[in-house]
Amino acid sequence: MHKILPSRPLQVIAFLLALGFLIQHFNDSLLSGPASDVARRSITAIESPKSNRDPAATNATNATRNSNSNSDQVSTKSFPSFQHGGFIVFLHIPKTGGTTIRKTFQKLPGVTYMFSNRRAKYETLVQEVHQNWLTKRNNADGNNNNNNNKISRIGILEIHARNNPTLLEICSQLHQWRETAAQNRVPFFAFTILRDPTSFAISYFNYYHGMQWEKRRFEYLPTEQMTEENFLRTMHLSPQCLFLTRSEQAYQRNHPELRVNLTQSECESAYKCLQGTMDWIGTTERLHNETIPLLKNLLVTSGVPTTGKNQTGTTSQQGQRTNVKVENAGPRIFGKHNISSTSWERLERMTRWDQDMYQKAIKEYKCQNKSQELF
C-alpha cells in the first residue's frame, strides 16, 4: 500500500502561512520598540545646542516637558538668564531681516555690538570674544549684586557677508565658544534667521540685480532689467544653503566656481550644524512676532532698556508686537505677480533644499514669548 503525500499546492500554501506569521511577529516587535528617528531628531534639534548650558544660568529647569517615546512631542527649554551679562552670536544670512535686528539692538545701553563683515575682522574678533566675553562675567558694577541701577554688559557678535568663513568652517568654533562659556558660567545664546525660499529668491533678485540704488556694491552680479527671463537666468540653486556652505562670495561676479555643483549633502550638513549650534532658528515671516520679542526678553533680564523709541523710529512696548521697519530692503520692482505658474514651479524645484531647511526649522523651533521658553 502506497503512502499518500501532500500535493505541491498544499505545500506552497503551508509555506506562505508560516512566512506570514513570521512577518507579522517581526512587525509587532518593531511597533513596540523605541521612538522613531523622526521623534528623536526633533528632540535633539532643541536639546543638543543647550547640552552644555550652565544650570545656574537659566530661568527654569533644563526640560519642563518630557518627550513621549511614541510621539513627536519635544521638550521645553528655557532661555539663559543674562542678569549678569552674557554673549550672543547672530549668524546673519542675507535678505532675512538681519539688518533690522542690527538697527534695533546695536545702540542699546549695555550692549557691545560687534559686526564681522569680512574674514580678517572675524579672525580678530575670535580672539576678542574668547578673552573679553567668554572667560569672565561682564556685569557693569563688577560684582553679582542685583542692582536695578546697573546694566549688565551684553556682547552681540553678528557674522555676515563678504568673505567671512562659511557656517561649515565655523561650526567647530561655535561649539568651542559654547563649551568655554559653560565652563566659565557665562550665559551664551546663538541664533539665525531663515526666510521662505520663494520670497528669498525674489528679494535676492531685487537686491543683487536691481541695484541702481546702491552703485558701491559693484563686486556683485551685474544690474539686470527686472524681467521674468532675467529672474530665471540669474536664479541660484538653494541660495540660503549656498550662503551657508560657500559664503556670500558665491553671489559675487568674480567667483562663479562657488555657484556650481552645490549638493544636497552640503545642505544637509549645514542644517545639521545649525541644529547643533543654534539655540534658536527664526523666520523672516515671524521676525516681529517671535525673534525680536525673544531677544528683547533676553536683554530685559540684564537691565537693558528695550522700550521707548528704537533706532528704526517706532515706539515699542514690552510684550507687544513692534512694527519695526525692515531695513536694507532695496527696491520693490519685481514680485510674485511677475512670475508665471510654469516659472514658479521651476523656482520651487530650484529652492527645494532651502525649503527642506525652512520647514524643519518651523517644526523644530517654536517660541512662547510670555514665559521666555523655547518649546
Look up residue 364 and give its three cell numbers. 523644530
Which alpha helices (H) appear in the chain, and where do they start and end? Answer: 8-31, 37-47, 98-105, 119-132, 167-183, 197-209, 228-233, 239-246, 264-277, 292-300, 341-350, 352-364
pLDDT tens digits, one per residue of 54-91: 433 344 323 222 333 334 545 566 778 898 899 999 99
Decide: residue 235, CB within 10 A, 0-12 exposed, 13-18 middle, 19+ buried. Answer: middle
Look at residue 300 in the predicted model and tell me its pLDDT.
80
* Cα–Cα distance for residue pair 240/94, rounded to 1 Å: 8
Three-point CA angle 164, 97, 283, nearest 5°: 100
Question: In this structure, are residues 50 and 279 in contact, taking their beta carbons and an 8 Å threshold?
Answer: yes
Number of helices (H) and strands (E) in the chain: give both, helices first. Answer: 12, 10
* Cα–Cα distance for residue pair 188/54, rounded to 1 Å: 9
pLDDT tens digits, one per residue of 180-213: 999 999 999 999 999 999 999 999 998 888 765 5
Which of 275, 272, 268, 312 has its CA nearest to residue 292? Answer: 312
| Cα–chain center distance at 200 | 15
Look at residue 238 in the predicted model and tell me its pLDDT.
98
Look at residue 208 in the predicted model and tell me its pLDDT.
82
Q: Residue 250 has what DSSP assignment?
A: G
